Structure 1
Amino acid sequence: MNMKEPERLFLITLLFCWVDETAAVTVHSDPAGDGGVVQIELEATVSFTCLAPSGGGELQWFRNKALVDLKEGNREERSHLCVWPVTREDNGAIFRCQLKNDASVNSSVQLEVLYAPQLNGTEQVSVKEESEAELSCDSRANPPVTVVWRFEGRMLDLSSGGYIATNNGVTARLTIPKVIRANHQGLYTCVLDSDIYGQRMKSFQLSVDDKTMKFPLEAIIAGLVVVLCTAALAVVSRWKRIVKCCK
């Protein structure tokens, strides 16, 4: 049966692997890479095949700088390595294959793990009036996301209301240094926008309670000491009078 042209092209694309032709050791990847970088989805599987020249000897694999333990029969001239499932920690990892007896003969590929931010649901947050409130959401994603905060469904104006917004690529935070119920109580939403995965959101229902009156503990202790000392002096004075009368 003759294969149709679209099917043939699809098969060629599926089987194609990136090859580093500049070294005597070559690495093939599935899925294919581009310029030594392999893009892969989170929790997917990526496999590598390392080929050495005929009679080249034993091969070694490294993940970054750590030696990978290979089984017998998977070291001579052709070596296979499989990563499954791919995790966030694999993002940026470099897999290098080299000759055991000549580390200068090597070839490597780098993983770029694509994953969406993990956000959902609503969190209840309660704070005292005039205290500090901090709302945070996990902003880890690849490619990186843009972060927008909303208040009661509208984009939050960070220039007013005493808000401070930060994002270090791991956690996006919205800080309110001094909460005022009339201004800050309500529904906040952390919106992460990804070019690949679209929007992910998490909401926070901020409730502001009456502030707690703080008692001056030091003054109370000092007052108790004065009262106790006065009472003790009164008892001593009274006792002296009783003794004097009995003589």
Structure 2
Amino acid sequence: MKLQLVIRRAPAKAGLDWLKQGWLLLRQHMLLLAMFWLMLVVSLLGLVHPLLAVVAALLGPFLLAGFYDGIVRAQQQKPLSLDLLWQPLKESSHRAAFIRLAGLNILLSIPSQLLLAQQVPLWQTGEADLLALFALVAMASVNAMLFAYAVPVIYFLREQRLWPVLQASFMACWRNVPALTVFGIISVLLALTGPFTMLISWILILPWLAISFFLSFREFFVLTPARPDEAAVFEV
């Protein structure tokens, strides 16, 4: 049966529902917290040396896929282990797609990085360029929408072509601005507790937000038969 991708619209209150469900998952499966922080530590190795930054960027999609797979297993009440984080590296079916995705992400981030490096000295002297600031926000927003759901689309939906992957991610964000806005506002408020707790609250908050965000993917995306006479619908 040939399937096509369908992106659902979620109500605005769905942003709150993801957070509630994410908290319950984190409480029941604390190993997800360890998986998240191990993934984050690997990504932060890129701050040590430029070559490590490239390696960390290339590993990013694989580790994120492993973390998301851990969330799915937690929802299915299957056993978890830290080894799941590295499992996508051993699977060849999506390896090329992940490497291309990471390379494209690096490439598309270059203009905003160059503009940011140019503007930071001006901001420090109080000579902020509002047009440049707007351009930075616009580029960051578009990049975030393009890559927000790219990894799970490749890993769980088995789409290997980059353009359909990026298009699906962008459209999922575009069609669900209200729900993502609610999620974003609450996420920012939770993150603001960090300075008052010497960032200790982030130990729980950051993995909680990552789990909750993945739940939005599972709500937005469904697979449905390409032929209208086939009535079945397949949840992701």
Which TM class, normalised by the smaller chain length?
under 0.3
Q: Rg: which structure is higher?
A: 1
* TM-score (normalised: structure 2): 0.18
More helix by share: 2
